[in-house]
Structures are given as structure tokens and as C-alpha cells.
Amino acid sequence: MSSFKPGRAGKISPPALRYGTGHLLEMQLRHGGATHTLAAYGRDRLHREISRSQGVLAQETRYDSAGRVTQRTVLDARRELVFERRYRWDRTDQIVQQIHTDATPATPGEKYSQYLWGYDAAGQVTKAVEPQREEHFFWDPTGNRTEEHRNPVWHNLLLRLDGLKLDYDGFGRLIQRRDKFGVIQQFSYDDEQRVREITFTGHAEFKKVEYRYDPLGRRTHKILWRYNDPQPETIRFDWQGLQLAGEQSDREPDHYVQTFTPRAATSRWRASTAFSTTARFTGTTPNSTACRSG
């Protein structure tokens, strides 16, 4: 058993207990000379998390023979259901169904809900079915999203899609994005081809986002400029090697990332935002998860 060590740049994460393989067992809070358990984790023989307790809530996770999550259930202190998620996968490890059960839904019709996905032979999403809508997606032979009539994407650069208009420079870098609501994003890059700044026209909240990097190419700072606010919000990212260890905003408490999981694997596909995939990597949407964490 070992305790968590201080992170980079003098930042210290909440104390943690781990066993020989380095897997997390417990997160702690030390205050007033006492140690309090924030969260405790149970693991199986393969070191996979099968239970987690945090305050009065307990989460249980089940897997299939291929190691894929099939069920996550959250219970309260009386062991009564809070919510449950069930997952079904195809033979190529692509998720095809999620079934949600919420004990206290906003409306009675939301107590049970189902989400379905369909894929083509290349593993690309072709259909997404949600409780209130169904969407279909089309791709060209090189994996670019297209309209239903399948116009080819010349030079492998997507120019238009569902009201979205994209412009590129001579190096193939995105320099302007205009959505169907008239919001314009303009991109500038540094000498290493990294996004340095995004300026907005017509956005309701943000007017500019700036990015800073260290010599290893890791994003270290994100600076958000809002309308009617002379002072920007600065988000700093801490790294352990090439893995993101945490982030800190000058306006919010620290948030630490214990393990890395691709966003696509932890939240359902939101392909209705035509440029959502790029936004995750470049931070083109300031109020998105991508913008908060990278």
C-alpha cells in the first residue's frame, strides 16, 4: 500500500491509497489531524473496478467475458436504486445500445430511456436513435462525413455539412468555421501547427480563446475571454509524463484526472453537432468538455 505523491509543479492531489500494481483503492481528505475517506474502490482479480463508494452513494459495475462494461448501478444508503445504465456491444466492441433507468426522473416518461447506434463495415456511426429523435450519418470512402447525396470531399477537406461552412489555408489547416446560426470562429496557429488562438464573432458568451504549450507540445494554459468581463479565466493543465494529471481554473476548485478515458468512451455520441469530433481535439467550443480539459 502506498500514498499518492505530489504532482508536477508542486501541485498535490488529494491523498490516495494504492496497492502494488498502482491501482487506486481509496481517496482521502486530511483535515484537522484526521483522515476522512472521500471515495473507496473495490476491484476484481483483473484489477477492474467493480464497486465504488462515495458518501451515501455506491456504484457497482459489471463486465462481460470480453471485459466490456455491461452495467453500472448507483444505489443510495438504503440500497435503493438511484440510476442504472446497461450497455450492449457488437462483435467488434462497438456500443450498440444503452438502456437508462432513473429513479427520480424530471418527468415520468424519462424513467426509462433507450439509445441505439448503427455502424457501417468501417466502424463509422451511420445511425443514432435517442428517445426524441433519430439521426443518420453518411461518409465518403476516405472517412469524411458528407451529406446524404454523398458529394466527394476533395483534397480530404470537409467544406460544408448540415449548414456548417469550413475554410482552410494552403497547409490544410482550418482557419474559419461558420455554423448555421452565423457564429464564426477564426483559428490561428503557431510555428508547430498548434492552435494558438480562436476568435469568435456572434458568440453569445466568448470573444476569444488563447492556448499555451510547453516545449514538449503539451497544452499548459487555456485563456478564455468573455464579453462584459475585462479579466479572462485562465485554466492551467498539469501533466505527469504525457498523461493529463489535472487542471486548475483561477475561478474554480482543482479538478484532478486519476485515469485517462477517451471522451467518446464515457459519453454517448453527440453527432448532431457536425464538428463535435474536431472540437474535442482543438477546443473549438469554449463551453464544451473539450475546452475545459484540453
Phi, psi of 223 (to 5 degrees): -115, 115
pLDDT digits (tens, 9 = 90+) for 123-169: 999 999 999 899 999 888 878 888 776 666 667 777 877 788 999 99
pLDDT of the residue at 259: 45
Q: Is residue 48 part of a domain?
A: yes
Q: Is residue 166 part of a domain?
A: yes
Residue 182 and residue 45 share a domain: no
Q: Which helix or strand (DSSP H or E) is residue 3 part of? A: strand 2-3
Q: Measured between alpha carbons, how far is 59 from 72 in angstroms, rounded to an integer?
A: 7
Q: Is residue 242 part of a domain?
A: yes
| Residues 225, 227, 232: CA angle, nearest 5 degrees | 25
- The residue-averaged pLDDT of 215-236 equals 94
Grade residue 241 by pLDDT with cuts at 50, 70 and 90.
Answer: confident
Residue 12 and residue 151 share a domain: no
Grade residue 13 by pLDDT with cuts at 50, 70 and 90.
Answer: low
Last residue of a domain, one of 55, 72, 89: 55
For the chain, the domain total comes to 2
Residue 65 above 50 pLDDT?
yes
Q: Measured between alpha carbons, how far is 20 from 42 in angstroms, rounded to an integer?
A: 15
Dihedral angle sign, alpha carbons of residues 31, 33, 36, 42: positive
273 versus 63: the higher-pLDDT residue is 63
* DSSP codes, 233-266: EEEEEEEETTEEEEEEETTS--EE-SS---HHHH
Residue 169's domain spans which residues? 147-294
11 versus 14: the higher-pLDDT residue is 14
Q: Is residue 138 part of a domain?
A: no
pLDDT of the residue at 210: 97
- The answer to whether 120 and 107 have CB atoms below 8 angstroms apart is no
Name the 3-class secondary structure at 46.
Answer: coil
Most confident of 29-33, 100-104, 144-148, 264-268: 100-104
Last residue of a domain, one of 33, 55, 77: 55
Q: Is residue 134 part of a domain?
A: no
Residue 162 and residue 292 share a domain: yes
Residue 159 and residue 48 share a domain: no
Mean pLDDT of the chain: 81
pLDDT of the residue at 266: 35
| Residues 119, 122, 127: CA angle, nearest 5 degrees | 20
Q: Is residue 124 part of a domain?
A: no
Residue 119 above 90 pLDDT?
yes
Q: Which helix or strand (DSSP H or E) is residue 293 part of? A: helix 289-293
Last residue of a domain, one of 55, 73, 101: 55
Share of the chain above pLDDT 70, in %: 79
- Which of these, 167, 164, 165, 160, lies nearest to 146 by C-alpha position? 160
- pTM, two decimal places: 0.58
Grade residue 289 by pLDDT with cuts at 50, 70 and 90.
Answer: very low
Q: Which residue pairs, CB below 8 angstroms and at least 24 apart, start in 4-12?
A: 7/238, 7/240, 7/245, 7/246, 8/238, 8/239, 8/240, 8/245, 9/238, 11/238, 11/245, 11/246, 11/248, 11/254
